[in-house]
Structure 1
Amino acid sequence: MKLNPYLNFAGTCEEAMTTYAKVLGGEIVAMLAYGDMPGENPIPDDMRKKIAHARLIVGDQVLMASDAGPEHYKPMQGVSVTLNISEPAEAERVFSALVEGGMKIMPLEETFWAHKFGVLVDRFGTQWMVNCEKPKE
């Protein structure tokens, strides 16, 4: 069994997933717009180019997402996507890239358990925890 997050966006899914693929070094293997869905589903004009489903592969991990219609979208609350990164320099690079245009909640710094740990909300509204643990003794 594997768990993977499924993020919802208010119209920025394609940009967010493209950014995440670049920052995290992943590959987008699916990006389906509502207007390209099969069947006779009535799609409002303002949603035709929005993303119904996206799938990003990073190593053996998966991050999925879609754009929610305005009547269904709620900003993310009470959850973070955690990135466990083994090298401090890579943790710094990823944190800096994700926080660009967003907001730092906790700066990336040393803690009692980690070489680097920080929390941010990116410009798309996703909260991330970047963690670079110290080796267990």
Structure 2
Amino acid sequence: MSDALLQPYLFFNGRCEEALAFYGEALGAQTEMLMRYSDNPEPPPPGMVPAGFENKVMHCSFRIGQSVIMASDGCEEGARFDGFSLSLSLTGQDEARRVFALLGEGGQVRMPLTKTFWSPCFGMLTDRFGIGWMISAA
């Protein structure tokens, strides 16, 4: 499996474009590809896509630094992001503080930024979309 590539795939329950804009502003995320349900060359099975989702995001990929994350609006209600966090390592404490504050807007701080034995500046939060983040400075 040395050639395997593992990428997170996030389902935003109808808020994918909002999340892309938010991460673009907060993290400089760049959308690399975006396909709407209405762009699908093959119609989905009846009842699979909720009514009103025709212009929602069926699939997209975006880049944060060297990492690519895939995402969608999904086809189900009640997106939950339990059991994992995205870990973001930044080059300095000022950048870690800036990003932590931006990601925390409308979210919830789980551990304020503080010095730890592995980082001069580490903290954890859940953003407004329910995504857990662990922010650290090198």
- TM-score range (shorter-chain normalised) is 0.7 to 0.9
1:17 counterpart residue number: 20
Asked if 1:26 corresponds to 2:29, the answer is yes
CA contact (8 A) 1:21 1:56 kept: no
List gaps (5 residues or longer) in structure 2. Answer: none
2:125 counterpart residue number: 120
Matches within 5 A, 1:1-137: 1-41=4-44, 42=46, 43-70=49-76, 73-133=78-138
List gaps (5 residues or longer) in structure 1. Answer: none
CA contact (8 A) 1:17 1:54 kept: no
Taking the aligned partners of 2:16 and 2:29, their CA distance within structure 1 comes to 15
Q: 1:107 to 1:64 in 2, by over 3 A?
A: same
TM-score for both structures, normalised by structure 1? 0.87
Taking the aligned partners of 1:36 and 1:3, their CA distance within structure 2 comes to 26
Residue 79 (structure 1) shift: 0.3
CA contact (8 A) 1:18 1:28 kept: no
Greater CA drift, 47-56 or 90-99? 47-56
Taking the aligned partners of 1:130 and 1:59, their CA distance within structure 2 comes to 14
Letter in 1 for 2:115: E
Q: Which of structure 1's runs of 4+ aligned residues deviate more than 6 A?
A: none
Residue 46 of structure 1: SS of its match in structure 2? coil
Aligned length: 132
TM-score for both structures, normalised by structure 2? 0.87
**1:13-32 CA-partner distances (Å, limit 9, x unpaired):** 11102211222113101121
Percent of residue pairs identical: 41
